[in-house]
C-alpha cells in the first residue's frame, strides 16, 4: 500500500509533489529518494512474496511446522525495519534534495539537514537484518511431522 502511495505522490502534478521529479533528476540527496523507492518496491512486493511462497511450500507441501513465535518476531522486525528505514531514507532524500535542488543550499547545509536521519536509518536497517535472520532461522528449523 505504501509503495502505491509513493508512486501516486511522485506522479501528482501539483505542489509539493511536483517538486519530487526535479529532486530525483537533481541527484545528490535526491538519489536517496530514488533508491528508497526502488528498494521499497522490490522488498515490499518481491521480498515478501518470496517469503510467503517459501513458507507456503514448507507448511503445505513439506508438511513441516514452523515455530510461529520465531516467525512472528522475524517478520515484525523485517517489516518494521524495512518500512521505517526506507521511508526515512526517502524522506531524507526529499528533504536533502529539496534543499540542494530547489533552494540551492550548500553541501554543508544539506549535510546538516541529513545528519539526524543517518543513525535512525541505520537502526531500522539493523532491525530489518535481524528480522531476516530470525525469519530464515525459523524456516530452516521447521520441524518435520512426527511419524
DSSP 100-142: IIIS---HHHHHHHHHHHHHHHHHHHHHHHHHHHHHHHHHHTP
**Torsion 45-51-57-63 (CA) sign:** negative
The tally of domains found in the chain comes to: 1
Angle between helices 68-97 and 30-41 (to 10 degrees): 150
Note whether residue 107 is domain-resident. Answer: yes
Note whether residue 21 is domain-resident. Answer: no
Give the tens place of pLDDT for each residue, 94-104. 888 888 888 88
Cell of 142: 521447521
Give the tens place of pLDDT for each residue, 73-111. 999 999 999 999 988 988 888 888 888 888 888 888 888
In whole angstroms, give the CA distance from residue 130 to residue 77.
7
Range of the structural domain that residue 53 is part of? 29-140
pTM for the whole thing?
A: 0.78
Amino acid at each position: 500500500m505504501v509503495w502505491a502511495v509513493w508512486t501516486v505522490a511522485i506522479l501528482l502534478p501539483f505542489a509539493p509533489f511536483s517538486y519530487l521529479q526535479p529532486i530525483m533528476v537533481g541527484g545528490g540527496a535526491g538519489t536517496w529518494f530514488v533508491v528508497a523507492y526502488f528498494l521499497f518496491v522490490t522488498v515490499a512486493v518481491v521480498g515478501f512474496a518470496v517469503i510467503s511462497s517459501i513458507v507456503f511450500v514448507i507448511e503445505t507441501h513439506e508438511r513441516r511446522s514452523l515455530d510461529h513465535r520465531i516467525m512472528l518476531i522475524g517478520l515484525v522486525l523485517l517489516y518494521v525495519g524495512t518500512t521505517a528505514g526506507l521511508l526515512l531514507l526517502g524522506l531524507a532524500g526529499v528533504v536533502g534534495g529539496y534543499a540542494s535542488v530547489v533552494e540551492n543550499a550548500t553541501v554543508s547545509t544539506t549535510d546538516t539537514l541529513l545528519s539526524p536521519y543517518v543513525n535512525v536509518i541505520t537502526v531500522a536497517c539493523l532491525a530489518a537484518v535481524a528480522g531476516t535472520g530470525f525469519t530464515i532461522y525459523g524456516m530452516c528449523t521447521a520441524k518435520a511431522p512426527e511419524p
